């Protein structure tokens, strides 16, 4: 979308996808997932030890591929981004069950997870195309905004998604006490009795069902609110593309961003 396409882009695409795969493998261990993309994940087939080692191998292999590039900027950025993603996971783990978490703190976590990797992906694609620094920054901002929107919708789908469409384990956020935008909004806007019940569930002090949680979130408009916030990030992402010349690639990026806010899987 921002210039020429080189063989380095193929390597970069592989590197980013391999790192992403590693995060998914490790995520499945952390969440105790039993399904990923309609299949049993590695942890369910071979156990957590094998899954952790495979995730480590994938990250190592990604760095090995990066080392073959003449410009080592990509290796430095991928390494820095991996650090940020791990920081985001550590922060989220520390704040599990925290019923006082604010929307701003939640978004800070999201920006350190999915959004960090998508931002770096878009940045590297533009930089290795020889784009102007200003355009590289624009593409990084596009990736970050799109990544935040993607994660918010992911949190919504964890509650209301159709498992046959999403094709992964659902309901894990509630079970693990993970803070999400819908639950944060519900805690802030629900009646006192509902808010107290939800706090107890998230803190692991009381049992809770997915159906019950969905009813609370629907009654308080929390699901609609989360989707509206995601749509705002999509609009931000699309506005960044205005600085990118019209092309088939830009049209594809536009379509991807528009898909994110309304995806069902």
Rounded mean pLDDT of the chain? 91
- Least Cα distance to 158 among 185, 134, 176 occurs for 176
Query: How many Å apart are CA 199 and CA 189, to the nearest integer?
Result: 13
Does residue 222 contact residue 209 with C-beta atoms inside 8 Å?
A: no
Average pLDDT, integer, range 202-212: 77
Q: Which residues pair with 36 in a beta bridge?
A: 39, 168
Does residue 21 contact residue 33 with C-beta atoms inside 8 Å?
A: no
pLDDT tens digits along 63-84: 999 999 999 999 999 999 999 9
Helix residue ranges, H only, the chain: 7-31, 42-46, 48-66, 73-94, 103-111, 114-127, 133-160, 163-166, 172-176, 181-189, 192-202, 210-219, 222-240, 248-262
Residue-level pLDDT at 221: 94
Examine the pLDDT at 35 and tell me if it is beyond 90.
Answer: no
Query: Mutual orientation of helices 210-219 and 133-160 as an angle, nearest 10°?
Result: 120
pLDDT tens digits along 135-187: 999 999 999 999 999 999 999 998 886 666 766 666 677 777 788 999 999 99
Examine the pLDDT at 207 and tell me if it is beyond 90.
Answer: no
Query: How many Å apart are CA 261 and CA 152, to the nearest integer?
Result: 9
Higher pLDDT, residue 46 or 175: 46
pLDDT tens digits along 91-105: 988 988 788 889 999
Residue-level pLDDT at 3: 74
Residue-level pLDDT at 199: 87
Residue-level pLDDT at 43: 97
Residue-level pLDDT at 65: 96
Res. 210 pLDDT band, cuts 50 70 90:
confident
Pick the CATH number of 7-262 from 1.10.600.10, 3.40.50.1220, 3.40.50.300, 1.10.287.810: 1.10.600.10
| C-alpha count within 13 angstroms, C-beta hemisphere, residue 29 | 19
Domain assignments of the chain as residue spans, ordered by start: 7-262
Residue-level pLDDT at 4: 84
Does residue 144 contact residue 257 with C-beta atoms inside 8 Å?
A: no
* Share of residues in the chain with pLDDT > 70 (%): 95
Residue-level pLDDT at 158: 86
Residue-level pLDDT at 141: 98
Average pLDDT, integer, range 204-225: 86
Higher pLDDT, residue 36 or 83: 83
Q: Which residues pair with 39 in a beta bridge?
A: 36
Examine the pLDDT at 37 and tell me if it is beyond 80.
Answer: no
pLDDT tens digits along 232-242: 999 999 999 99
């Amino acid at each position: 979308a921002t210039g020429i396409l080189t063989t380095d882009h193929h390597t970069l695409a592989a590197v980013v996808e391999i790192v992403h795969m590693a995060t998914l493998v490790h995520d499945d261990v952390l969440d105790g997932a039993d399904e990923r993309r309609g299949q049993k994940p590695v942890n369910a087939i071979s156990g957590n030890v094998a899954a952790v080692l495979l995730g480590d191998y994938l990250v190592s292999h990604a760095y090995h591929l990066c080392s073959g590039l003449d410009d080592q900027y990509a290796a430095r950025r991928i390494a820095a981004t991996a650090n940020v993603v791990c920081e985001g996971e550590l922060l989220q783990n520390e704040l599990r069950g925290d019923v006082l978490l604010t929307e701003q703190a939640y978004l800070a976590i999201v920006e350190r997870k999915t959004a960090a990797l998508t931002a770096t992906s878009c940045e590297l694609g533009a930089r290795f195309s020889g784009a102007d620094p200003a355009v590289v920054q624009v593409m990084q901002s596009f990736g970050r905004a799109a990544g935040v929107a993607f994660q918010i919708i992911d949190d919504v789908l964890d509650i209301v998604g159709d498992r046959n469409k999403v094709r992964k384990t659902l309901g894990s956020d509630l079970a693990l006490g993970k803070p999400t935008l819908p639950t944060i909004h519900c805690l802030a806007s629900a009646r006192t009795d509902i808010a107290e019940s939800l706090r107890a569930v998230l803190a692991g002090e009381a049992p809770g069902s997915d159906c019950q949680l969905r009813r609370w979130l629907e009654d308080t408009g929390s699901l609609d609110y989360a989707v509206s916030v995601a749509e705002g990030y999509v609009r931000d992402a699309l506005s960044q593309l205005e600085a990118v010349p019209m092309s088939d690639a830009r049209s594809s990026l536009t379509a991807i961003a528009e898909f994110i806010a309304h995806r069902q899987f």
